[in-house]
């Protein structure tokens, strides 16, 4: 037992790895104890509050095989939840927006799901009543009287049903409902998201918080008990894909499946689309934004089945690649998706889609996909649909391959080549009616959601986007290509609106332009602007810029400010493009047991700018080498002068002294460095002699001091 410690006792046995226990006293002094395979009773401190902070430090026991391990934890409060986090598991407060948005979306989905089920029951009951009423009457007068009576009864029943529905829809979060929704969180970690679902989402039947790590599940259980959610939330220790595969039976399907993996969710999608109910909701996060935005197109193709492009609209292309991937997985099981909300947020993507079943609608999937042709210079793009729908009699369609391509071998605007990406989802990426309902819900519950302002701002911005127009331009990139002064955003939007076209912003990029105008209209506006704001003549030496600006304008351009040029979200000053909230706010490192968050952050700070530091170090080393080589050349010349004045006996004495003081390695080198016989030397030419015309070793060099006749000194290859 440890002296001067208070709390409880814990037995630790049969645990082979090293156990490091950190004990914190009231004055925050740290004490460590390490032990191997022995039975030890340890007294430990229960809780300690950081001075001036809101988080709490706790020492909690965790089951590790047959042993119980004591770990230092942080207590985090978010929403209505209060959960324990081990120190080696990161908690990113920036992701609170993700969790708040999920709570709002699933709450609205649960409400819609319950109202749809009650409406279905009512319609069946009304049909039965009408049939029975028609069977009871025979005469016309009796029919009229009975119809009036039935109508009065219907009005009474509908009014009472409305009152009942209002009472039923006033569901309370934290309570279990028999007809509620079933939620699965496949990758729970600490269980914070599941705990928040249980405390903040009304109309829930059950929530399963699953994780593959036993330590994580032990913390999930502690957090469930800490928030008194034993009846609503249950834990599971298993592979997320296997949990969903075991629930492929329609009776066992989930209403909502939430996946927030570290990296790509592609390996879970096949199981996900099979385990969700017809009309169910999928909430999927992708944190591998670099892959989806074109930094590694081959990796994107291997994971998502599409080639990503590094272009100005890469964030929306990444979103549409995710939707295409989910749709392709669902099509294999006669299912299709309907996107509700699709957002590019900070360093990740978040999509909310409903999954439906229907072979007829699955046939339309090919017409929803498109390939992207993007110019690698001016960034103009064209979309080529993969399939086509040809209307026939009634509401039927004939499905056939689309015709194309929409471009030639070179860009029609600047004459450069194209890059091909995709396939991507080319249909709308959100449901405006559903967004309106979520916005209204968030406005009614601003106190419970800390990031409610940003949720309203981003959803309003996506609602304002042109739904039938995929991808966007970035205003800075358009004018940056021709090296011209950038036009104000309102003025550029006014020019498009005055020309009779639609225009909107994109939530994925600030200063973005999404329009249904042809691309030659955009370049005509830029040409008209360049006439008053000319480009430097030096910039016109570039053939692509010269080709684009020398074309004649075919559009009548007016820069007069249009009344609809300023979007409503901008007028209302909504929080749309949030700045970085804190330093090092991006994606955290993957959770490990060997390194805490503090060590990971310290390591990140040390390695930040590593490539730049390496370049500076290389330049410094090269400068030092040149200085040393110049100094060595002078020393060699002085040494030769001194050696020429020495006698043969003196030179032999110096050589003997060097051999005695030399290391074994230098003795081996001396065998060939001091070789006077040319046959003992290598036949390769000396690189230093070829490059500089002089060698530091002089006659003792093992290489030949000559320049090959077939190559100049500057062009000789380096070894």
> Which of the four pLDDT bands, split at 50, 70 and 90, describes residue 601?
low
CA distances to 307, 374, 685 from 388, in Å: 22, 22, 67
Give 3-state DSSP helix, strand, coil % of the chain, rounded to 5. 45, 20, 35
Collapsing DSSP to helix, strand or coil, 546 comes out as helix
What pLDDT digit, counting tens, does each position of 386-414 carry? 999 999 988 889 999 999 899 999 999 99
Q: Are 334 and 303 contacting, i.e. CB atoms less than 8 angstroms apart?
A: no
The fold of 466-580 is: Phenylalanyl-tRNA Synthetase; Chain B, domain 1 (3.30.56)
Domain 239-429 and domain 466-580, same fold? Reply is no
Say if domain 239-429 classifies as CATH 3.40.50.150. yes
CA angle 575, 514, 313 (to 5 degrees): 85
Domain locations in the chain? 8-78, 239-429, 466-580, 663-719
**Tens of pLDDT, residues 34-63:** 333 333 333 333 333 333 334 455 555 544
What is the pTM (predicted TM-score) of this model? 0.72
Percent of the chain with pLDDT over 70: 66
**What tokens does 631 get?**
């100094």
Name the residue with tokens 């042809």: 518
Render pLDDT for 150-164 as a digit per residue (tens, 0 to 9): 444 444 444 445 444
Secondary structure in 3-state letters for 224-255: HHHCCCCCCEEEEECCHHHHHHCCCCHHHCEE
Q: What residues contact 486, with CB distance under 8 A and at least 6 apart?
A: 475, 476, 479, 480
Q: What is the CA radius of gyration of the chain?
A: 36
Per residue in 238-283, pLDDT (tens digit) is 999 999 999 999 999 999 999 999 889 999 999 999 999 999 999 9
| Res 651 pLDDT > 60 | no
Say if strands 369-375 and 418-425 run parallel, antiparallel, or are unpaired: antiparallel
Distance between CA atoms of residues 548 and 537, nearest Å: 14
The structure tokens listed for 602 are: 């310290």
For the beta carbon of residue 45, count every other beta carbon within 10 angstroms.
19
Tell me the backbone φ, ψ of residue 37, rounded to 5 degrees.
Answer: -65, 80
Task: Provide the pLDDT confidence category of residue 326 given band limits of 50, 70 and 90.
Answer: very high
509: β partners: 506
- Closest residue by Cα to residue 223 from 197, 256, 204: 197
Q: Which of 155, 157, 175, 174 is nearest to 165 (CA)?
A: 157
**Among 511, 373, 536, 452, residue whose Cα is nearest residue 100:** 452
**For residue 356, what pLDDT is reported?**
97
pLDDT for residue 426: 96
pLDDT: is 316 or 600 the higher one? 316
Looking at residue 591, what is its pLDDT?
Answer: 58
Please tell me which residue, 716 or 327, carries the higher pLDDT value: 327
The residue whose two tokens read 């099979």 is 274
Cβ–Cβ < 8 Å for 320, 263:
no
381: helix, coil or strand? strand
């Amino acid at each position: 037992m440890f002296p001067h410690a208070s709390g409880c006792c814990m037995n630790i046995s049969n645990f082979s790895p090293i156990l490091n226990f950190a004990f914190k006293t009231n004055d925050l002094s740290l004490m460590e104890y390490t032990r191997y395979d022995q039975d030890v009773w340890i007294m430990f401190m229960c809780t300690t509050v950081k001075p001036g902070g809101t988080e709490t430090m706790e020492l909690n026991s965790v089951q590790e095989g047959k042993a119980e391990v004591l770990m230092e934890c942080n207590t985090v409060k978010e929403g209505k939840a209060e959960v324990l986090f081990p120190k080696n598991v990161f908690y990113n407060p920036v992701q609170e927006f993700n969790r708040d948005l999920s709570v709002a979306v699933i709450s609205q989905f649960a409400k819609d799901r319950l109202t749809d089920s009650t409406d279905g029951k009512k319609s069946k009951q009304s049909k039965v009543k009408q049939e029975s009423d028609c069977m009871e009457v025979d005469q016309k007068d009796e029919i009229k009287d009975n119809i009036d009576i039935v109508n009065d009864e219907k009005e009474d029943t509908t009014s009472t049903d409305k009152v009942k529905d209002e009472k039923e829809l006033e569901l309370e979060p934290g309570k279990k409902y028999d007809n509620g929704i079933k939620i699965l969180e496949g990758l729970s970690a600490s269980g914070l998201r599941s705990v928040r679902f249980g405390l903040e989402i009304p109309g829930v039947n059950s929530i399963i918080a699953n994780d593959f790590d036993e330590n994580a599940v032990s913390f999930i259980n502690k957090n469930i008990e800490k928030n008194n959610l034993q009846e609503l939330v249950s834990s599971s220790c298993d592979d997320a894909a296997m949990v969903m595969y075991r629930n492929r039976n329609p009776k066992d399907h989930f209403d909502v499946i939430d996946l927030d993996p570290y990296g790509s969710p592609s390996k879970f999608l096949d199981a996900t689309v099979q385990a969700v109910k017809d009309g169910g909701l999928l909430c999927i996060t992708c944190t591998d934004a670099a892959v989806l935005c074109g930094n590694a197109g081959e990796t994107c193709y291997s994971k998502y089945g599409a080639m990503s492009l590094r272009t100005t609209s890469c964030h929306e292309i990444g979103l549409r690649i995710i939707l295409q991937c989910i749709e392709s997985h669902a099509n294999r099981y006669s299912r299709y998706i309907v996107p509700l909300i699709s957002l590019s947020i900070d360093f990740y993507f978040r999509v909310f889609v409903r999954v439906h079943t229907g072979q007829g609608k699955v046939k339309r999937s090919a017409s929803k996909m498109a390939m992207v042709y993007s110019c690698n210079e001016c960034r103009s793009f064209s979309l080529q649909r993969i399939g086509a729908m040809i209307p026939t009699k009634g509401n039927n369609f004939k499905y056939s391959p689309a015709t194309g391509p929409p471009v030639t071998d070179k860009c029609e605007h600047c004459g450069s080549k194209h890059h091909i990406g995709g396939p991507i989802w080319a249909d709308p990426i959100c449901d405006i009616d559903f967004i309106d309902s979520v916005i209204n819900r968030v406005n009614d519950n601003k106190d419970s959601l800390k990031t409610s302002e940003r949720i309203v701002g981003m959803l309003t911005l996506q609602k304002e986007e042109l739904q039938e127009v995929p991808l966007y331009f970035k205003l800075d990139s358009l004018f940056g290509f021709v090296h011209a002064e950038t036009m104000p955003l309102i003025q550029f939007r006014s020019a498009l609106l005055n020309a009779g076209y639609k225009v909107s912003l994109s939530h994925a990029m600030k200063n973005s332009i999404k329009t249904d105008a042809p691309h030659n209209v955009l370049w005509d506006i830029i040409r008209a602007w360049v006439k008053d704001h000319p480009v430097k003549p030096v910039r016109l030496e570039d053939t692509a810029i010269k080709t684009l600006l020398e074309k004649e304008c075919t559009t009548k351009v007016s820069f007069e400010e249009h009344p609809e040029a300023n979007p409503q979200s901008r007028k209302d000053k909504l929080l749309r493009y949030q700045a970085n909230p804190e330093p090092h706010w991006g994606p955290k490192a993957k959770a490990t047991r060997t390194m805490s968050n503090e060590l990971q952050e310290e390591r990140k700070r040390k390695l930040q700018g590593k490539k730049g530091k390496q370049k500076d170090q290389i330049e410094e080393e090269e400068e030092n080498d040149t200085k040393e080589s110049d100094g060595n050349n002078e020393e060699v010349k002085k040494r030769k002068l001194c050696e020429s004045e020495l006698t043969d006996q003196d030179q032999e004495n110096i050589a003997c002294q060097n051999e005695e003081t030399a290391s074994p390695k230098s003795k081996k080198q001396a065998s060939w460095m001091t070789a006077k016989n040319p046959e003992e030397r290598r036949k390769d030419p000396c690189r230093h002699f070829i490059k500089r015309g002089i060698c530091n070793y002089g006659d003792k060099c093992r290489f030949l001091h000559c320049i090959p006749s077939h190559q100049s000194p500057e062009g000789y290859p380096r070894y």
